[in-house]
Structure 1
Amino acid sequence: MATETTSFENFPIKYQETFALINVFEKQVEKFADQVYVRYYGRIENGKHGYKTLTYAEVDRVATNLACQWKNKVKGYKTVAFMADQSVQYFLCVLACLKLRVTFLALSPRNSETAVANLLAKTDCHFLFATNKYATLAQSAAAQVDGTTCEVLPSFDLVGRLRQPLNPLASKILDKHFSEKDIEQTCAIIHSSGSTAFPKPIRLSNRYLICGIQSIPRHAFSQDPSIAPSFGDVQLCCLPIFHMSGFMGSFNMSLVGGSNVYLPKFPPSAREVLMALEVNNGTHMLAPPLIIDQLIPSLNEPQDYIPLQKLKYICVVGAELDEKTGDYFHANKVNVCNVYGMTEINFLVGGDMRKVKENKWIIMSPMKAANPYIRWEPVENEPKQRALVVRGNCPALATGVSNRPDGDYDTNDLFMEIAEGSNQWRYLGRKDDTLAMKNGEKTNPVPMESAIRASPIVKLCTVIGEGRECTAALIELDKDHAFGCTPQQMMDEVYEAVAKANENAPSHSHLLNQMVYVLPFDFHLPHTDKGTVPRKKAIRMYSEVIDKLYTDFINGPAPAANASKTQQKSTATWTADEIDNYLSQAAAVVLHSDPNVFLKDPTSSLFDLGLNSLLSIQLRNRIAQSFDNVPQNFLFEHPNIESMRNALMGRSEEAQEDVVAKHYMETEEILEKYIRMAKRDFAVAKTNYPKDAKQTVLLTGATGAVGSFMLRDLLQSDKVKKVYCLVRGRKGADLMGRIRDAFSDRMLDSSLLQSDRVEALPMNLDDVYLGFSQEVYNRLKEEVTVVQACAWLLDFNQPVAHYEKECLVGFYNLIKFAYKEENPMHFHHVSSITATAKYGAVIPETPMARDPYVAMPMGYGQSKYICEHLMTYLAAEKNFPCYMERLGQVCGDSAHGAWNTSEQFPIMIVSGGTLMHAMPKLDTRIDWIPLNFAASAIAKIMVDTAADNADAPNAVFHIVNPQEVMWTDILEAMKQCGMKFREVSVEEWIKILSEHEDNPAYKLMSFYESAFNDLTDCPHWNTDKTIQTAPMLKDAPSFNKDLLNKYISYWRKEGFCN
């Protein structure tokens, strides 16, 4: 490794020549056979424990024998999953799978059962190894995926395996031939943390991994060859293998003949980290910020720093190290630096690893090999900020992660260059809502906020936690509801809402009650008209409150403020039993458990009973109220009642393992419930549809914009015999009059309604008979051939649980109406692009993989996601023809220009173009489709598929405008229509609007602030298949001056634009 590298292709170990990661490793084994490669904690002589070693040859022999043993077990499986705690045994199992040439799926034990099953399904993995500790979780998850085998591994007898010679048939059992075909083969799958929904599998090719294991060492070498890993060096990696950094850290020292240290447990205590470095003479270290933070309380004497000062560098990965913490270590001559990367892109940007630095330690620069493959894109309205984008041809890019049409990958991360042209950067944070927390975990706050807002006492809330130890919430109460409660009742309702939010959140995201701040009644959170709170603005407004919230939580209340001197003194005289009782009571409160659980077995680790790093802070603070000098890492050092008692009485014990609680997603829970119902309620249908029969349609939503145009088109079709319109209202009400009003408002031909081909019926979808008598229900069931479920609640503020009550119950009743054992009705649903908007840069016209991450994080989009997957299940498994029309943003019709004047874009165009004389500059695509073309396309799909059998893969259609334009084209059309205005930044436009309270757009000001963010990075929805069935879609006009002139004329008639 003696040459500097300027691209990944020129790394010393070239993926173009070595082909596969396991081939690289085995070549290094040949080179360093007798050198130490693994240092692990285990039993040594006289029953004591200490660090032992394995040579390269020993590691390879054990792994080879294990691979030979597993050969027949995994035969026929392309992917093998593994669930276990971090250990040297884990690494040996990784090597065994790589030798078997199967893809290794590393599963975090932190996942819920449903999340594990989801990962197995998404990766087409049907074989799962698990250790006994996780047997129940693994077996339950495997049982949810058809054809999946779970094998529980026996205890790993490493001593016994070391005595075994190499299997004499190994060369015949294992395939040692490698070629160029292996370069792009998926070698391993590492999954995301599940912060946004279910964990997302990320496929890592041999190319990616061969580049990745060299990235950090080459970055160090380019700055100072003396600090780069070299022969005999020892690395301590404080991350598990199921993290990308841990996986890379298991292999990178093999490049130079170095060794890796495997800690006795995860997460390790500060004492274990320092001991591992000291005993093994560590030279390099990889760790997340949380581990670095936890070292500080253990550094009390000058000699305590020595193991850290001896290190050439500590690479902080997973999240950015706090600047004050880094400054503290550098002041004490400990060389820490941040390294930026993510599983999708590898390590691409790193800090200055030299002990004598040119710039402050927190400044980073791109790795030399990465420079040709990255670009820094300007951020609108933020002249000093840049977004990092990785080119699609980067060898360090994971397989299939592109999120842009050109194949590039937008990291969604923001940086600031310290001086123009310097190529030296400071990391700023994420563009999206994901909170990157101090422990390296990530939290999606949006579902939690939705759950909290569902409480009637909560008006607004925001969940925060970026760069912090845990999440926190700021809550504004609904005054009308709160004034009817006592203060205690108010807080009880708030905490109940918080508990609901925690139910479906990962354990590392859980909100603790003391981290919930309820604003006084005269204070308010900033918010949009949709009820969302701009997080950064709220943080700025309440920065002092937030800082105090975290300071009080982390440091804990001072004993003097919470207990009298007499009480503190009395604890010093407590007996062991009294301390045990106190600790058990405290643990019971934090863990919501029975104190006897902890008293029964005081040696059981609290981490195995549900404690995690977040709850450990809470429990530590409780203990600190009664005992002096309780350090921050107390629970990590003393994880059971007996150990804590001994420490408080002046004695110490060994720490135990940590187990993290499960999380569960509400959207998937609701979907799973309906699929279970569908399995029970419907048999596989028999179908033989007549080809030329006329259709009788049942339509919901006929009084809405899309529904009324759809009704017009159905009545104009000679393929439609009759349309029944379900209209919300009582029996005897003038339901047809409501439909006539809808036609009149939109200038549709009302004469079409003067026919017995259309009939309005009162609707109550919550009733099993839809509000009809059983006789009418049965008659319609025999008569209707096509159902279109167009009506849906449009309230972006409501969570998915609200949509279940308001929409999904009725939706399922409508499905039951449409089902028949022979020739069920063709069932259609106007879905939404919000059900798939998070899929990626290009959305295919197909059902999505079952992953709620693809839906927008709001109840509306999630409810549409549930509908789509339920319908896909029915089509695929029950032979029930179900069709989804994903509808995008609709603008007014192209014939008469009828566009509702209460919608945000008409208000914006008129207000900006004629009142403010200013319009915001945006860089985004627009695929707005005129109302009449959207409805015609849907109606055409309905009648043209009415004789088709169920075909799930081809049952999705995209109703968006294939003729996309840019926002700049919208502005040009406005100018061509005579509007005169300046083009200003979004920030300036909002500022101008804020100064004109009489402007119609003023009341939507907060909404526009939010909407402008949503308009960036808009995906592209494919329409090729839809156009084949509904060719009029390709004739939909793009937004231009002719279309806008019609809208302006309509608005003038309505008195809106004068």
Structure 2
Amino acid sequence: MPAQSSKFTPLSVDDNVTLDQAYEWHRLHSPEAPAFVYPDGLGGQHYVTWKKQGEGIEKGVALIRATIPELRKENQRNSEPVVIGILANIDHLTHETFLLSHIRLTHQSSGRPILPFALSTRNSAVAIAHLIRAKHVSYLWVTEGPMKTLANEALNHLTPDEVPSVFSFPTFSELFDEQNDFVSTISDEVLAPTALDRPALILHSSGSTAFPKPITLTHAMLMEWAVRIRQGDANFEGETVSCQNAPMFHAMGLFITGWALYSGFIRAVPNPLYLRAPVSPESFLQEMVDSKTTIVYTVPSFVEAWAADPNSIEILKRMRAIYWGGGPLSERAGRYMRELGVNVIMIYGTTELGMVASVRAKPCPQGYEWIRFPTSVSPVYIPDPEDPDTYELAFKLIDTHHPAIINTEIDGVPGYATSDLVEKHPDDPNLVRIKGRKDDQIMLSTGEKTNPGPMEQLISKNPHVKSAVMFGRGRINNGVLIEPVSLDEAERLGVEAFRNLIWPGIEYANEYASTHSRIFKEMVLIALRSKPFTYTGKNTPRRGAVIKEYDDEIEALYKVVSESVQTDIPTPAATGEEGGWSLEDSRDFVHQIIHSILKDVSGMKDEDDIFSYGCDSLQATYIRNTILHGLRQVAPPASVQKLASNFVYQHPTVNALAEIVSRVSRRSMETAYADLEAERTERLQRYIHTYTQEWPRHRPAPNQNDSTKEVILLTGSTGGVGSHILGELVKLPSVTRIYAFNRPTKKSSRQRHLEAFSDRGNDISLLDDEKIIYIEGDTSVQGFNIDPSVYKEIQYSATTIIHNAWRVDFNISLASFEPAIRGVRYMIDLALGSPQLIPPRIIFTSSIGIVKAWSNIESVPEGPLSDLTLINAVGYSESKWVSEQILETASRQTPLKPVIVRVGQLCGGVNGNWNSREWFPSLVRAAQVVGGAPDTEGLASFVPLQVAAKALVELRRSSGIFANLVHPRPVPWGNVIGWISELLGVPIIPYSEWLRRLEASPRTSESLLNNPALHLLDFYRVATPPKGFSGLDKREVFGIAKYDTTKTVTDAPSLSPEHLPQLIEEDVRRWIEYWKTKGVLSN
């Protein structure tokens, strides 16, 4: 045996050894090299060496031999192996070590061999019973607690002859005690040559139906998986890899187990001595920090959660790589992470194939979602007969790659067809990305998969259900679309009653489904009469077409569910001088919420972990939202905002949640606001500084003529005002070319423009003009993610840039707008890189919503606003103000002369079109629901869409840098709300009463869809003008400042009295008629 060393000694890829033999090899040759690291609970780290894990494996072998009598029967050497099931909810280190103990005994030289079967803890009891029966499991290791309960339920589904003997899974302490007198009894037989084609382990497919399929893996297959890490360009030696959600019953866990043998990385895991809640994105991130992780290995849902948190992103930027796989990553999160410099790298593998994608050190330059295959596997692309750009991915059986399942033959060679559909990169056919599933399997963002067919069949047996189509790709949970047998019945009963009618059938299907595949009642959508299902020749729903048709409804449903609360739970009364809730009242409140949402947990104590009683991520969301709903009624807004989004995971018991809830309810508002304001000031200034450094030098080319021909780059040309701007530009004779620039979506640019023009009453024939060039790209990426030659063409020819595209979301933070802010800087770089004598002007659409605290009775000037205390503390408003500052700085430091247009509230266009999700249409809908239209003081300076568009085009010739685009002659709010009252037949009520009624409305799935104003409650709460403001009758409604328009009207004649009359009742009537045609308002 070599001298002990902390150095990792690589194993040769040519050694024909089993997985457990490779671990034993490292016990002998890398004994003091660290294999695992975990936080010690005292601020330090504890390392587990290869030697220590090897001893743990050996102790596990001794325990198995002492427990399983067949292992001691010499005369059974050549008989079939004893199948031993493992159902364990335990830490990664203990789970892996005991599993390796079993694998060692699959090739023992004496006694009957065994075959371990790793069972998913996410299976239903029925699925566990099926797997035990299918593989004739004789013994079952089970951890205490919920898994013991699950196992007992499963055994009830078996006959007495099928029931295995059940034993308690060993704890970490049993395998890793600290006694120093351990003496190995391993004989040379452990490293003796073994037939690698012998079975080593059984895993199973996703368990997405009632019958997950067992998959037997040989020793050769496991080692092929392991050596794959050496077939990419990544060097992991000495790195610390965090792998907290790679369970050992899943192929992802086995990948890590094998890769460690050939790479030399250290695996970072949670402290195995402590009980813990299920891994959450926040707890994973904290463990990464504590263990000094350098590489992350995870599932898409965690990446998406981190992408929404600026603090998480800062931590991830320091990582060498974030490897993700097991399901689709949303395009928004993937692109956003990449734009911010986070190395997100896709990996691809399956239980049937192992890891088959090259493990790269850096993401593909072509995008975060593209993968390449090493030469050790043989991919085949089977053309899709219905789509020439789509292929089914398959793999041939070759000497260096043995699929565990053979289900096809390719050119006379056995192989495995994955049912995954891919497309090839147009410039590199060896790069592919996953498009979906041939067999309609739903890949959740958690890495779990659902085969919808069996569940849909069970649901469709209900006599009231004609067809069922499940959805959920890229989400954390599934939903189902139901087409009723009788639409008349469904409409007569209403959504909630019809859902209750068919719910027993869905509950029956849930009994046979894995935990991750189950459907919540809130996730049931009822088909609309206007969107009937389309069917194939076999009379089955056309899944893809149906889901595409309901894209908007599905998106809205997920948003609604993410915000749903239980409003039937009374909130405690405020007590004491601080006005918050006592600890006891908070405990009662939390107890009621949890027992209402989790159901069937009567035995759970207030000190018990709710996740051990089956609480999942969706239920955790309900608990969080309901607690926040109650806190907002008593706690200072700043205190509620400071509550971490994952507080249910951080405090997973009734007692712990009660403690934090009580504390937040009594937090000092002044202290909270002071902290927030200081942080906010620093944050905003940091963004301005970051994006005003090192301007490109403008270098006009010689012999440039000051041409009268105009070339326009317009972003956001499919939006409300953008489509009208495009129409105005087409009609201008001086404009010879328009680059209509938008982000790519599933629909073509042409189709989106046709829909936008049609919906807003524009002349569709204008889109046939040859001067329009449609472009799809991303302004937040340098070069806009378009062909470099096209970028150069725009840069050389553009005379004006109208940057109108912007994300409209008042619920997200400034950090989420950073890509948009970066896009402003890249627009400046584009303009300054122009060879023209004068850089093209950038017309930037800002917002009057940036100003909140304007206490001056005078109007907001047509100029810069440098006082940060005036700026509205909403991410959207902050992003617009930061962009204003960047452009204004550029105007002082470079030849660029932008026009910053603060756009006010735009109202319905020529046909009354007004986005029903905005605050005013939502307010009008709420007036119908709560039975009253809200009256308050102030003015309404709404500008019709088509007028605003024309004014924006005129402002390209503005004499100044700032403009305020609001109606110069506003009307009293009382006039507008009076017309609303008359046209809808609802009374006028005080704003405070309207808000009270709205707050009292239930926040169920149905009510959130029916009353979208509930999504904007926070906006309406803060909309009331601050006390002490004078001259409210001369200010915009809700106390918003009035804006000076003197210079703007001069530069934009469309706003003059002769072209823009005041709002009248007929305008309001047009809006209401439009909303009625869209189903927003009832007739």
Q: Does 1:384 align with 2:389?
A: yes
Residue type of the alignment partner of 1:242: F
Range with greater deviation from structure 2 (406-415 or 635-644): 635-644
- The alpha-carbon deviation at position 16 of structure 1 amounts to 6.0
Q: Does residue 455 of structure 1 match 2:467?
A: no
Pick the aligned partner of 1:619 from 620, 623, 629.
623
Code of the residue aligned with 2:442 in structure 1: it is L
| Structure 2 residue corresponding to 1:341, chosen from 329, 341, 349 | 349
Question: How has the CA–CA distance of structure 1 residues 542 and 562 changed in structure 2, closer, same or farther, with 3 Å as cutoff?
Answer: farther
Q: Which residue is 1:399 aligned to? A: 404
**For 1:26, what is the secondary structure of its paired residue?**
helix
Q: CA deviation at 1:105?
A: 1.6
Shift, 1:467, TM fit: 1.5
User: How far apart, in 2, do the equivalents of 1:316 and 1:283 lie?
Assistant: 15
Percent identity, aligned pairs only, is 22
Distance 1:510 1:571 in 2: 44
Alignment correspondent of 1:505: 513
Q: Does 1:327 pair with 2:359?
A: no
Partner of 1:95: 100
Q: Which amino acid aligns with 1:71?
A: R
Aligned residue number for residue 289 of structure 2: 278
Output the CA distance in 2 between the equivalents of 1:396 and 1:314. Answer: 26
Corresponding residue of 1:269:
280
1:625 alignment partner, SS class: helix
1:149 aligns with 2:162: no
1:408-464 CA-partner distances (Å, limit 9, x unpaired): 110001111121653111210100121111111112222332333333333333221
What displacement does 1:242 show? 0.9
Letter in structure 1 aligned against 2:103: L
Gaps of at least 5 residues in structure 1 are 1-11, 222-226, 653-1058
Check 1:607–1:484 CA distance in 2 against 1; reply closer, same or farther (3 A cut): same
Residue 380 of structure 1: CA displacement?
A: 0.3
Instruction: State the Cα distance separating 1:486 from its structure 2 match.
Output: 6.9
Q: State how far apart, in whole Å, the 1-side matches of 2:558 and 2:163 are.
A: 48
Q: Which moved more, 1:569-578 or 1:529-538?
A: 569-578
C-alpha displacement of 1:483: 7.0
Of 292, 308, 313, the match for 2:321: 313
SS at match of 1:100: helix
Q: Give the direction of change, closer, same or farther, for the CA distance of 1:351–1:330 in structure 2 (3 Å limit).
A: farther
- Whole-angstrom CA distance in 1 between matches of 2:103 and 2:254: 13
Residue equivalent to 1:258: 265
Comparing 620-629 and 376-385, the one that deviates more: 620-629
Paired residues, number: 618
**Alignment equivalent of 1:84, drawn from 77, 88, 110:** 88
Give how far 1:551 is off.
2.0
Residue by residue over 1:232-287, the C-alpha shift from the partner in whole angstroms, topping out at 9 and shown as x without a partner, is 54443431111111122133223233311122446313333223222222122211
SS of residue matched to 2:462: coil
Give per-residue Cα distances to partners, 1:605-647, cap 9 Å, x unaligned.
1112221123223333333433344655343223222222233
**Distance across 1 between alignment mates of 2:250 and 2:578:** 43
Q: Secondary structure at the match of 1:427?
A: strand
Q: CA deviation at 1:583?
A: 2.3
Kindly state the Cα deviation for residue 40 of structure 1 after the two structures are TM-superposed. Answer: 3.1
Deviations 1:964-1014 (A, max 9, x none): xxxxxxxxxxxxxxxxxxxxxxxxxxxxxxxxxxxxxxxxxxxxxxxxxxx
Looking at structure 2, the residues matched to 439 and 391 of structure 1 have their Cα atoms a distance apart, in angstroms, of 29
Distance 1:236 1:312 in 2: 14
Q: Displacement, 1:364? A: 1.5
Answer yes or no: is the 8 Å Cα contact 2:56–2:176 preserved in 1: no
Q: What residue is the counterpart of 1:608 in the other structure?
A: 612
Choose which of 15, 27, 30 in structure 2 pairs with 1:29: 27
Matches of 1:569 and 1:539, distance apart in 2? 53
Contact 1:461 1:474 survives alignment (8 Å): yes
Task: Return the alpha-carbon distance in structure 1 between the equivalents of residues 391 and 175 of structure 2.
Answer: 53
Structure 1 counterpart of 2:86, which letter? F
CA contact (8 A) 2:606 2:653 kept: yes
Partner residue of 2:65 out of 64, 67, 71: 71
* 1:3-28 Cα shifts (integer Å, max 9, x gaps): xxxxxxxxx96676323112222222
Equivalent-residue separation in structure 2 for 1:463 and 1:615 (angstroms): 20
Q: Does 1:176 align with 2:190?
A: yes
Q: TM-score, normalised by structure 1?
A: 0.54
Pairing 1:591-740 to 2, within 5 Å after superposition: 591-593=598-600, 601-627=605-631, 628-629=640-641, 632-650=645-663
Aligned pairs for 1:419-438 (under 5 A) are: 419=426, 422-438=429-445
Secondary structure, aligned partner of 2:356: strand
Verify: 1:105 aligned to 2:117, yes or no: yes
| 1:260 partner amino acid | R
The verdict on how the C-alpha distance between 1:83 and 1:60 changes in structure 2, with shifts beyond 3 A counting, is same
Distance 1:348 1:468 in 2: 24
Per-residue CA shift, 1:179-235, capped at 9, x if unaligned?
Answer: 2x521112121112211332211112121111212324532x2xxxxx421135444
Cα distance change on mapping 1:71 and 1:597 into 2, 3 Å: closer
In the other structure, the counterpart of 1:127 is: 139
Q: Is the contact made by 2:235 and 2:361 (CA closer than 8 Å) also made in structure 1? A: no
CA distance in 2, matches of 1:15, 1:647: 53
Q: Of the candidates 254, 263, 266, which is equivalent to residue 247 of structure 1?
A: 254
Mapping for residues 688-837 of structure 1, pairs under 5 Å: none
Q: CA deviation at 1:484?
A: 6.9
Q: Does 2:209 correspond to 1:196?
A: yes
Distance in structure 1 (CA, Å) of the matches to 2:137 and 2:466: 44
C-alpha change, 1:57 and 1:553, in structure 2 (3 Å) is same
Contact 1:218 1:228 in 2 (8 A): no
Deviation at 1:564, TM superposition (A): 12
Q: Confirm or deny that 1:515 pairs with 2:515.
A: no
Which one-letter code corresponds to 2:28 in the other structure? E
Distance 1:129 1:495, change over 3 A: closer
Q: Tell me what 2:793 maps to.
A: none
In the aligned structure 2, how far is the partner of 1:71 from the partner of 1:50? 37
Equivalent residue for 2:16, pick from 15, 18, 34: 18
Report the secondary structure of 2:381's partner residue: strand
- The aligned counterpart of 2:950 is none
**C-alpha displacement of 1:363:** 1.6
Check whether the contact 1:64–1:166 (CA below 8 A) recurs between aligned residues: no
C-alpha contact (below 8 Å) 2:86/2:142 kept by paired residues: yes
8 A contact 2:381–2:392 mirrored in 1: yes
Partner Cα distance (1:487, 1:381) in 2: 36
Q: Which amino acid aligns with 2:321?
A: Y
One-letter amino acid matched to 2:389: K
1:290 paired with 2:301, answer: yes
Kindly provide the CA deviation profile for residues 802-837 of structure 1, in whole angstroms up to 9, marking residues without a partner as x. Answer: xxxxxxxxxxxxxxxxxxxxxxxxxxxxxxxxxxxx
Query: Which residue does 2:873 correspond to in 1?
Result: none
Amino acid at match of 1:273: F
8 Å contact kept, 1:351–1:361: no
Tell me the secondary structure at the aligned position of residue 552 of structure 2. Answer: helix
Amino acid at match of 1:646: E
Structure 1 residue 567: Cα displacement: 11
Contact 1:526 1:538 in 2 (8 A): yes
Q: Which residue of 2 aligns with 1:58?
A: 52
Q: CA deviation at 1:513?
A: 2.5
Amino acid at match of 1:170: I
Task: Please name the residue that 2:583 is paired with.
Answer: 576
Could you give the per-residue CA deviations for residues 472-496 of structure 1, whole angstroms, max 9, x where no partner exists?
2222331454477577643431334
Describe the SS at the equivalent of 1:514: helix
Contact 2:572/2:586, CA 8 A, preserved across alignment = no
Alignment-derived partner of residue 681 in structure 2? none
Kept in 1, the 8 Å contact 2:88–2:121? The answer is yes
3-state SS, counterpart of residue 31 of structure 2: coil
